Structure 1
Amino acid sequence: MKACPGLGGWAAMHPHVDEANAREDAGRRVTDPALRRELAARGEADQRARDTALAAGMRDPVANKAMLVVDADNLAWLKAVVARQGFPTPDAVGAQGVANAWLLVQHADRDPAFQAAVLKTLESRLAGSGVRKADVAMLTDRVLLAQGKPQRYGSQFKPSQDGSPVSEPTEDMAHVDQRRASMDLMPLADYQCMLRFSYAPAQATDARAQQARDVGTDRQR
């Protein structure tokens, strides 16, 4: 928060997704608790692998390879789930379960066709419950970039040689903040500041990763 002063005001007006999901799921009896537990375990593995890679500024080949192994395992498992019963719903796994399923799709870059297919499902659910606009926006950017097109919401960055984040090509940058606001994403300048802080090599890695989750950026989620 000290490094990026604009984050405080934004975070105060936007409850973190995990807190919002916990409130929505309070007292809910899901129809597939086993699937919800598996999604939670795989979501935790996803974030743990990314926190480890982030600790080295995404420049440790061992940590990066371990992250890709987790992603590949999660992708194969989730594709089988979706083929068998469709993309999870809040009734089946709760709001947090849906968020965990989305997280696995967001990091399934080795299968852009699967990401695009899930995106269509999530777009069709936007008017209902269980899908966050921010999640649809971030997956949209991933799908567009995989198709060789500029992203729409500026959510995707890549590390440069020195570890600092560099934006992927983005359409109509003059109006990107309007598009981000419409999808419940923080202003791009605040997001860039958080990324610069998060990707810099640090001793206080655990604190940095936790701060990124507390603010609810589109870096990992």
Structure 2
Amino acid sequence: MKVVMLGMLLWQLATMGHAVAGTGQSSQPDHQSMNAAYREQLLALADADQKIRQQIRGAFTVQQLQANQGAAKEMATRLVASQRENQAALSALIEKFGFPDVALVGEDGAHAGFLVAQHSTDRKFRDEFLKNIEVAAACGSYSTADMALFVDRNLIMSGKPQRYGTQRKADGSLFELEDPARLAQRRAEIGLPDEQSGSGGLEP
């Protein structure tokens, strides 16, 4: 088991708020062209994505996993297997129905797809999903908050500094920033609040 996998497990478990990243999103379809069946399948995938994390959090604290490498490896293996299964299901849905933006599956459906995709360990998949997010966001059909979260998580998982300051370590400190002096400007450009304390209203 690679050390990076264990580190990713501890990071994901320590950042408790990722399930509510897209605040202010509606819970019901609101567009005539919306695919309700697709939306429901995405919501089910997101539920599965969150359940395994809740199960691990219920069984271990981050500190216990840090101290017990055997348990950490076992939980990391379970988590990665679940993520791969969810990614495969999401990929199949995208191939069948198209990219899950707000116009197609509603705000909560798009957010559900985001939750599953951001946890993928497949960089090629994440990069392609992000390209589609950016296109949809430019058309007003994707949450810019979710876009910022995805950009930052993808950068960090690729070993690079984050751009929008949405990702924090287990101790609450920010991960390394790209050009910190321009952070407020970058956030303002996509409608995010200034990063003062906490995470500026966003959670990883």
Question: Does the alignment reach a TM-score above 0.5?
Answer: yes
CA distance in 2 between partners of 1:54 and 1:189 (Å): 29
* Residue 46 of structure 2 corresponds to residue 43 of structure 1: yes
Note closer, same or farther for the CA distance 1:123–1:166 as it changes in structure 2 (3 Å cut).
Answer: same
SS in 1 for 2:112: helix
TM-score (norm 2): 0.69
Q: Unpaired segments of 5 or more residues in structure 1?
A: 1-15, 195-215
TM-score (norm 1): 0.65
Size of the aligned set, in residue pairs, is 175
Note closer, same or farther for the CA distance 1:126–1:37 as it changes in structure 2 (3 Å cut).
Answer: same
1:18-33 maps to which residues of 2 (within 5 A)? Answer: 19-22=24-27, 25-26=29-30, 28=31, 31-33=34-36
Note closer, same or farther for the CA distance 1:166–1:58 as it changes in structure 2 (3 Å cut).
Answer: farther
Tell me which of 108, 124, 144 is aligned to 2:135.
Answer: 124
Corresponding position of 1:190: 197
CA-based RMSD: 3.0
Tell me which of 144, 149, 163 is aligned to 1:133.
Answer: 144
Shift of 1:54: 4.6
* Residue 187 of structure 2 corresponds to residue 218 of structure 1: no
CA distance in 1 between partners of 2:175 and 2:160 (Å): 10
Shift of 1:191: 2.4
SS in 1 for 2:197: helix
Shift of 1:142: 2.6
Corresponding position of 2:166: 155
CA distance in 2 between partners of 1:36 and 1:97 (Å): 5
Shift of 1:70: 2.3
Note closer, same or farther for the CA distance 1:86–1:185 as it changes in structure 2 (3 Å cut).
Answer: same
Note closer, same or farther for the CA distance 1:31–1:177 as it changes in structure 2 (3 Å cut).
Answer: closer
Q: Unpaired segments of 5 or more residues in structure 2?
A: 1-20, 66-71
Corresponding position of 2:69: none
Confirm or deny: 8 A CA contact 1:180 1:187 kept in the other structure: yes
1:71-220 maps to which residues of 2 (within 5 A)? Answer: 71-108=83-120, 110-159=121-170, 164-191=171-198, 217-219=202-204
Confirm or deny: 8 A CA contact 2:145 2:202 kept in the other structure: no
Q: Give percent identity, aligned residues only.
A: 29
